[in-house]
Amino acid sequence: MSRLRSDAFQEPFFRYAGRLFLAVLFLACIVPFYYMVMLAIHNNQDVVLHPMGVLLPVGRLALAPFRTVLSGKSAGGQGFVPFIENSLFLAALTVAGTIIIAVPGAYALARYAFPGRRLMSGAFLVVYLFPTILLAIPLFVFFTRAHLLGSLPPVAIVYVAQTLPVAAYMLREYFDSVPVSVEEAAHIDGCSRWQTIRRVTLPLSIPALVSVGVYVFMIAWNEYLFALLFLVANPGHWTVSLGLAELSSDITVSPPVLMAGSVILTLPVILLFFAVERFLRGGLTLGAEKG
Amino acid sequence: MAVRTPVRPRISRGRTPGIIRGRTLRATDARWGLAMSMPTLLILLVIVVIPVAWTVLLAFQRVTLLNIRSAGIQGPYSLANVEQVIRDPGFVSGVLVTLAYSVFGTAGSIVIGLAAALALRKRFRGRFLVRGVMLLPYVTPVVAAAYVWQVMLNPTLGLVNQVGVNWLGWKHAVPFLSEQTGHLPLTGNSVSVPTALIMVILFDTWRYFPFAFLFFSARMQALAPELEEAAMVDGASTVARFRYIIYPQLRNVILLLVLLRFIWTFNKFDDVYLLTGGGAGTQVVSIRVYQFLTAYSNVGASSAEALLLAVLLGVFAVLFSLFQRRTQAGP
């Protein structure tokens, strides 16, 4: 009986405590983004005069911060358009590279017994857990020596190596779920191994390919450390992340401009994420961390 | 009477018809498997294995970015870098700061993630909205997240100080990210707190609790409801149900999260660097590695510091797995 009575207190207590906790957590997650957007659509004078007033979108709204961020240096802006192009190019290159390399690798892991299979799984785990900073030094030294600092393709190769383990793991899981009998039917109909993969397995794996592509795109788009080390010397090849970080070190740049740049950096990722969220769960729990 | 089942040839997965040029199917499979995984193995070798091995060599050579051309595999080798790094006055504090950052950041994100997963178990209206919003900190690019925090914590116009000074009666604004030691008035006494370090830990907790949350909610979906219902009928309280039914089933997820989050936080660079630049008592080891490399162009010292970081991490990982084995072997 005493146990029942103790729950008579505990049950409602935890119910209300849980609701309160969720409400606080919800605010903690959404307020920074709301604040980011609100600052980005106000003039700096208004922010300085009414730091709290800008929280409600009732005053004078302005697109000036966005105009400043996007317009070219010659027009007194921050020239973010080339950064967006660089980020897109780098991310596209990384996605293409990772998919081209990970698809055969994952297929081999899913279908064939071959020497080096366990080595490959072990290497994946090591890359997945390994301190990125340890890789940064020799790669930086090598790129400096090979005069590759400041160009985009070498950075894409590093990103491919970073995203390969999770991408191959996700694809392998998916290939495991594609029935072998479908492939055997294709063989019997006269398809070679490559034809089977290209005409049967890959079309069946489009959901997995999309989610891997989005995962890799997000990692490449968000990455900061390698972009900083390898690209900072060449402003023409800065990514949005790097451009924004360099922007913030300039004290003449006002908070609204900084936040407008943050919105430009964040928005594509969030839209992409929620567009494919239900596909993406598996990859996310593996770690959008790396990089 | 024994019924004889017809003997069917075992079909291996991914079979091509017949035997090709006198090779067995197994050998052909192996060749294909090796060929198809070659690009993956090659890129991991070139971008991961060789660089890591090279870091180890560099750590024992006196190398700077200027004389890097003359540095070879043959040495000369010495312990000078390791000595320099360990003797550096910032080394011990760097390790301690990294340790505090990792322990509290890991604990924070796991505790909040667990609480969020528990609170979100019940269905209610707007559950999916709450869930989606809670993933925002995790998917947002680190640069944008760090700068929103910077602006929010800004002493002159940031939201936090505005609320604190105008509504909560703070005597003065707090420079959260540039103050090494702050004084918190607590029941009349003033308690010293490492302000900037706490902010960095809070940022990490905020940014990575969704990661733990995703792990926990995936595991909770697989919990059998019968056990809990039976316990409820037997009169087990909410706390008792968590303690004796839910927690034991989550234990392995918790251990996995502790390991992953600790490793990743321990060598985290960008979060701290973007928030404080490593100042105000937040100079973690990875920032020291970066500074040796870029500010001083001292490749050798940088490699030695990175190697020490990896060794420390390895020691913790071994201790952790020993601890895990012992607790699992126990009653």
* Per-residue pLDDT tens digits for B256-285: 899 889 999 998 999 999 999 888 889 999
According to the model, what pLDDT value does residue A290 have?
A: 44
pLDDT band at B74 (very low <50, low <70, confident <90, very high): low
Phi, psi of B191, rounded to the nearest 5 degrees: -105, 130
Provide mean pLDDT across the span B114-137.
90
DSSP codes, B273-292: HHHHTT-TT---HHHHHHHH
Alpha helices for chain B (secondary structure H)? 25-44, 50-59, 80-87, 90-119, 127-134, 136-139, 142-152, 159-166, 195-221, 225-233, 238-241, 247-266, 270-276, 285-294, 299-329
For testing the chain B interface, which of A29, A124, A126 should be mutated: the one with the most B CBs within 10 Å? A29
Which 3 state secondary structure label does DSSP give B11?
coil
SS3 B62: coil
CB contact under 8 A, B52 and A130: yes
Q: What is the mean pLDDT of residues B121-146?
A: 90
Residue B328 has pLDDT above 50, yes or no: yes
What residues are paired with B171 via a beta bridge? none
Residue % of chain B over a pLDDT of 90 = 34
Q: Break chain B into its structural domains and give their ranges.
A: 80-329
Residue B190's DSSP bridge partners are: B185
Question: Is the per-residue pLDDT at B79 higher than 70?
Answer: yes
What φ, ψ does residue B72 adopt, rounded to 5°?
A: -125, 180
pLDDT of residue B7: 46
> Residues B291, B220: contact at Cβ < 8 Å?
no
Just give the CATH number of B80-329: 1.10.3720.10
pLDDT at B229: 86
Greater confidence, B64 or B23? B64
Q: If you compute the radius of gyration of chain A from its CA atoms, what whole number of angstroms results?
A: 24
Answer whether A95's CB lies under 8 Å from A213's CB.
Answer: yes
Q: Provide φ and ψ at B189, rounded to 5°.
A: -90, 160
* Mean of pLDDT over chain B: 85
pLDDT band at residue B235 using 50, 70 and 90 as cut-offs? confident
pLDDT tens column, B107-117? 999 999 999 99
Cα B304 to Cα A138: distance, rounded to the nearest angstrom: 12
Whether the per-residue pLDDT at B125 is higher than 80: the answer is yes
Q: With contact defined as beta carbons under 8 Å apart, do A113 and B29 qualify?
A: yes
The residues in A 171-230 lying below 8 A from B, measured between CB atoms, are 180, 183-184, 187-188, 192-193, 218, 221-222, 224-225, 229
pLDDT of residue B9: 47
What pLDDT score does A4 carry? 53
B49 touches chain A (CB under 8 A): yes
Residue with structure tokens 């990661």? B211
Q: A13-64: per-residue pLDDT in tens?
A: 888 899 999 999 999 999 999 999 999 988 888 888 888 877 887 667 888 8
Q: Omega into B76 within 30° of 0, i.e. cis?
A: yes
How far is B289 from B304, CA to CA, in rounded Å? 9
Q: Tokens 């961020």, residue?
A: A69
Confidence bin at B70 (pLDDT 50/70/90): low
> Each residue of B184-201: pLDDT tens digit?
776 677 788 898 999 999
> Rounded to a whole number, what is the distance in Å from the CA of A177 to chain B's nearest CA?
13
Lowest mean pLDDT among A154-158, B10-14, B165-169, B204-208: B10-14
Top-confidence residue, A126 or B317: B317
Distance of alpha carbon B17 from alpha carbon B37, whole angstroms: 22
Note if the pTM is more than 0.90: no
Of these ranges, B154-168, B185-199, B317-331, the one predicted with the greatest mean pLDDT is B154-168
* More confident site: B182 or B3: B182
Q: Is the pLDDT of residue B286 over 50?
A: yes
Q: What is the pLDDT of residue B15?
A: 47
Rounded to whole angstroms, the Cα distance separating B257 from A125 reads: 15
CA distance A258 to chain B (A): 8
Which parts of chain A sit beneath pLDDT 70?
Answer: 1-6, 58-59, 278-291
Tens digit of pLDDT for each residue in A128-146? 877 788 888 888 888 888 8
DSSP symbol at B15: P
Window 236-295 of B: residues touching A by CB (8 A cutoff) are 236-240, 260, 263-264, 266-267, 269-270, 274, 286, 289-290, 293-294
Q: Please determine, for residue B72, whether its predicted confidence score (pLDDT) is greater than 70.
A: no
